[in-house]
Amino acid sequence: MHALAETLTALAAKDDIFQDGARVISQGGVPNPMAAFLKAVDETMLERKLTFVTGKATINVIAAGRRLRGIAAASPAAGDISHLAGKTIAREEPDLIDDAYALLSETIGNASRLAVHSLPPDPFGKGGERGVSAAGLAALWKIDMHEAPLAPMERFLRTNSDGINALLHLTAGNVNTTQGDVSALQDVWDNQVTAFIEAQNKLPDQDDGPQLICLDGALEDGSAAAIAIAGDDVALLVYAPDHLGTLHSTWQSIFA
Amino acid sequence: MVVDELDALKNTQDACKTIAFADLSTRMILVTDTASNLPREALDALCGQAALALGTKGKVALGEQPCQTALVANKSSVRVFLRAPDEPNDVLCCVCTPNVDVDSFVTSASECLNRISNGNS
């Protein structure tokens, strides 16, 4: 009962983002799309058809009572799913659960954006077949449905990981994360950042909130470098020049 | 006319609020788009930010060498600074709203700057 009350409270409090009528439940891999999928099932009390949409694929499942009853359809189909489509999953049929996991992982596991439509259900299976609870599937599939949300800077960096070639992330002056060859970034941090921020602050009308500064061709080898500042967090990065637009749009979506 | 180029760019980019053409060697805004109503102090600050971000006279505040394109984003605006490839002191300073399509804008603004800097306008 307590879990049900928590879920209802969370649903009522949600400040959701919708796109084309679908609720966006994972953006840039945050939260993990499979965890987002299970959470959507976990939030479904009355029987519904949940249509999960990525940029490339759609998968329809039937959920009820916080349980996944089964997979109705997938498009494009990842291999032969005829043995899965329309079948109610059950703990007594572990192969079916494994195959459902494989299909879901392949279809939505790496989605950069995952959204869900909640629709009236189509007829599915037999009335007495309840499926498997979202919590049960999370345990079987070793997925943490309630992983702690990442801090904004970490979210920004993870979302852009594909376009970042080197990273030096510091929190309150202490190195938090490094990735790739950070020698040039370390030099920038050691010798330039403080003076740069001071110079910036001397300019009139400066906003002291989060900032993203991208400099195309700023490193000797022609690489693009950026600095993202949010409170105590400073991230210096070398990024692919064609990633500038994505870098900016994700920064805006997280910090603005 | 330079102002016509600036106006034309601004007219095709809804998210762009001010465009100015500047000379980094003197740190002066030379021309703005017709509708710009930024006071002189704000234009000077914009040019100062361009100099800081792009670097001037071979010196840089951040990075190892002067860069060609800089973007400075905060919650309320996105500022894009572009340097002409053949005339390093010719720069375009643009103030946009946060929802600007950066890739599209940078492409259009670069073409605009090249035309201005090459004397084709």
The answer on A25 and A92 residing in a single domain is yes
DSSP B62: S
CB contact under 8 A, B72 and A209: no
Nearest to B5 by CA among B98, B103, B119: B119
How many contacts (CB atoms, under 8 Å) link A and B? 98
The answer on A107 and A63 residing in a single domain is yes
Q: Where residue A197 sits, what CATH number does that domain have?
A: 3.30.450.30
Q: Minimal Cα distance from A192: which residue of B?
A: B62
The answer on A79 and A160 residing in a single domain is no
pLDDT digits (tens, 9 = 90+) for A3-14: 555 555 555 545
Nearest to A62 by CA among A45, A44, A49, A75: A49
Q: Tell me the CA distances in angstroms from A38 to A2, A56, A57, A110, A159, one per residue in order.
A: 19, 20, 17, 15, 21
Of the residues A113, A141, A169, the one at which a domain ends: A141
Kindly list the residues from chain A whose CB atom is less than 8 angstroms away from the CB atom of residue B60: 218
A239 lies in which domain range?
152-255
- ipTM score here? 0.95
A158 Cβ partners below 8 Å, 6+ apart? A28, A29, A30, A150
Residue A66 lies in a domain: yes
Residue type, position A119, single letter: L
The answer on A206 and A136 residing in a single domain is no
Q: CA A228, B57, A214: angle at the middle one, nearest 5?
A: 15
The answer on A103 and A174 residing in a single domain is no
Domains, chain B, in order of start with CATH, read 2-117 (3.30.450.30)
Of the residues A141, A171, A186, the one at which a domain ends: A141
The answer on A129 and A160 residing in a single domain is no
The answer on A113 and A35 residing in a single domain is yes
- As a whole number of angstroms, the distance between CA A220 and CA A242 comes to 18
- Kindly state whether B78 is in contact with chain A, defined as any CB-CB distance less than 8 angstroms: yes
The answer on A234 and A208 residing in a single domain is yes
pLDDT digits (tens, 9 = 90+) for A64-75: 999 999 999 998
The answer on A8 and A98 residing in a single domain is yes
The answer on A210 and A175 residing in a single domain is yes
Q: Which residue's entry shows tokens 């709203």?
A: B97
- Kindly state whether B63 is in contact with chain A, defined as any CB-CB distance less than 8 angstroms: yes
Q: Report the pLDDT value the prediction gives residue B54, as an integer from 0 to 100.
A: 95
Of the residues A95, A120, A141, the one at which a domain ends: A141
Residue A147 lies in a domain: no
- Kindly state whether B38 is in contact with chain A, defined as any CB-CB distance less than 8 angstroms: no
Q: What is the pTM of this model?
A: 0.71
Residue A146 lies in a domain: no
Q: Tell me the CA distances in angstroms from B3 to A36, B7, B21, B30, B85, one per residue in order.
A: 51, 6, 9, 10, 20
The answer on A122 and A14 residing in a single domain is yes
Q: How many domains does chain A have?
A: 2
pLDDT in tens, chain B (121 residues): 899 999 999 999 999 999 999 999 999 999 999 998 889 999 999 999 999 999 988 889 999 999 999 999 998 999 999 999 999 999 999 999 999 999 999 999 999 999 998 876 6
Residues from A contacting B (CB-CB < 8 Å) are: 184, 188, 192-193, 195-196, 199-200, 203-205, 207, 209-220, 224-225, 227, 244-245, 248-249, 251-252, 255-256
CB A168 within 8 A of CB A236: yes
The answer on A169 and A134 residing in a single domain is no
Residue A131 lies in a domain: yes
Residue A158 lies in a domain: yes
A146-168 b/e (C-beta count within 10 Å ≥ 16 → b): eeeebebbbbbbebbeebbebbb
- Examine the pLDDT at A133 and tell me if it is beyond 70: yes
